[in-house]
Amino acid sequence: SSPFAAGLIRSGGSGVSPAQASESIPVLATMSGRSNPNILVTGTPGVGKTTFCEALAETSPRMTHLEVSRLVREKKLYREWDDEMDCSIFDEELVCDELESRIEQGGCLVDFHSASFLPEDWFDLIVVLRADTSVLYGRLEKRHYPEAKIKGNVEAEIFQTCLDEAREAFEETDIDIWEVANDTQSQLEEAIERVRNFVNNFEPSM
């Protein structure tokens, strides 16, 4: 996927290709017995992932918001910095190592723009947030992103980069992938209610 799709750019780590790095990441052997679901909320920067997850976590005490971009910054889960795009190049293995123990407990809302390197059996639902390009542009302007970074993210949304990445990453699983518009407050509230119902009705598969 295009590096412009992300506030952070992916790195497979220490001389290893992203594909090889994904293969080397340990996958939890038994994740299906968790009592609360893990949900990946993904999408282009600016579509409202963090706002969505924070609002959902407030109304669903069973769920905890994990903002991966913040973890990458605070825990230094990266090996390089991209000066041109003003963002870190995150390391897939470091991110997975950081998330693994949290994910094992269940009840996680994982908020990140990238899905392809995450193990399939970590999640019970994938939510891909989408935004109209004019709405997205305005949101990114308010973040004071450089024009090149705004343009790259808008183009990524036009070409549905994050949606296609999620579909490809989880195409061989039975996990539902919900494409959800998030341009207005009413759409946000409807989406939160829909996912909250999923959480409340979740039954672990044995």
* Model pLDDT, residue 206: 62
- pLDDT for residue 79 is more than 90: no
As given in the structure block, the two tokens for residue 140 are 């990114």
Nearest to 114 by CA among 11, 20, 34: 11
Residue type, 202: F
184-190 long-range contacts (CB < 8 A, ≥24 apart) are 188/48, 188/51, 188/52, 188/55
For 27, phi and psi rounded to 5 degrees?
-105, 135
pLDDT tens, residue by residue, 1-40:
344 444 455 554 433 333 333 343 433 334 557 999 999 9
Largest CA distance in the chain: 49
* Percent of the chain predicted with pLDDT > 70: 82
pTM: 0.84
- pLDDT for residue 127 is more than 60: yes
Complete DSSP assignment for 48-115: -HHHHHHHHHHH-TT-EEEEHHHHHHHTT-EEEEETTTTEEEEEHHHHHHHHHHHHHTS-EEEE-S--
117 by Cβ neighbours in 10 Å (0-12 / 13-18 / 19+) ranks as buried
